[in-house]
Structure 1
């Protein structure tokens, strides 16, 4: 969740719906964002979105995956470079095709945080290169596992390239 004591954006609500509901509390859910198009993610996102009367946001490259689950039910588009305002911050959408064609990451420049959702394990070197334009001390928050600094990931990628060369 990203937000303040009044408004919150939910990112990838797939794990524990009861915990999510408790964490939301009395806040207004302004959007539910899917960082990828897997069935469990888009199903849970729609459930949360409907429950809180909030729009579900998805990259259009995942449209066919969405249709398999929800048919013609509407979602709001996420586009590369788009900015989503929440609690005085801007989430910048970075299209990171990996796990699904419409996978995205969400970057908050002022906080130096990049939410990559479940896409981390499949991110290609091209995507890491794009992330290389972000400050090296950007904190990467994966959907699973502990956060780490971007410089650590780039260092590991550089080592892997050296070994395979």
Structure 2
């Protein structure tokens, strides 16, 4: 079972602030879910969760628009927050001193019988991860890969070359039919995006 909640708020980085809509993904079963990217509105996310238990709140990266509701939601649903430690600096900008459980590449998370494998995909952020759920034929990419190309890299510790390497080596090797559920906007597939790698390199 895959459920989406769209929440609205702002994204702030490098002195700029933009209005954004974020995809929050609930993955699991009618009894138990993992929450991917608790953005903006803990109340709306908790309402969609309903009576289901939450095994974890997973952050694909720590940009504020993907984590700003994580601490409140964790308290509401009594679940741990999981984040790759390479995003510690970004996390501290939003939730200074708040604890989280470190994610690592290759880690397997489970909820409601669905397994999600953590793929470390640095580039958009140092600790960016994607979550591959082969049993449901999906990968949750946060801001690493969108319909139409890779996510932007705007800080000195991020690089376009790194995100391209991550996409090529970690995502485009997945089956073409794999559905790509993104952090913003519409979903796509690996097969739809793979032919455009050379175009992205020329940008």
**Could you tell me the TM-score, scaled by structure 2's length?**
0.74
Question: Aligned-pair distance for 1:149?
Answer: 1.2
Paired position in structure 2 for 1:36: 61
* SS of residue matched to 2:68: helix
**Could you tell me the TM-score, scaled by structure 1's length?**
0.89
Q: Distance in 2 between matches of 1:72 and 1:17?
A: 20
User: Does the 8 Å CA contact 1:36/1:119 hold for their aligned counterparts?
Assistant: no
Choose between structure 1 and 2: higher strand proportion: 2
Paired position in structure 2 for 1:145: 185
Pair 1:57-2:96 in alignment = no
Question: Aligned-pair distance for 1:29?
Answer: 1.4
Pair 1:126-2:165 in alignment = yes
CA 95–7 in structure 1, closer or farther in 2 if over 3 Å, else same: same
Aligned length: 163
* SS of residue matched to 1:2: strand
Paired position in structure 1 for 2:92: 67
User: Does the 8 Å CA contact 2:121/2:128 hold for their aligned counterparts?
Assistant: yes
Q: CA RMSD in A?
A: 1.9
Q: Distance in 2 between matches of 1:42 and 1:19?
A: 14
List structure 1 runs of 4+ shifted beyond 4 angstroms. none
Choose between structure 1 and 2: higher helix proportion: 1
Q: Which runs of 5+ in 1 are unaligned?
A: none
* SS of residue matched to 1:110: helix
Q: Distance in 2 between matches of 1:136 and 1:94?
A: 17
Q: Which runs of 5+ in 2 are unaligned?
A: 1-25, 146-150, 153-159
Question: Aligned-pair distance for 1:73?
Answer: 2.6
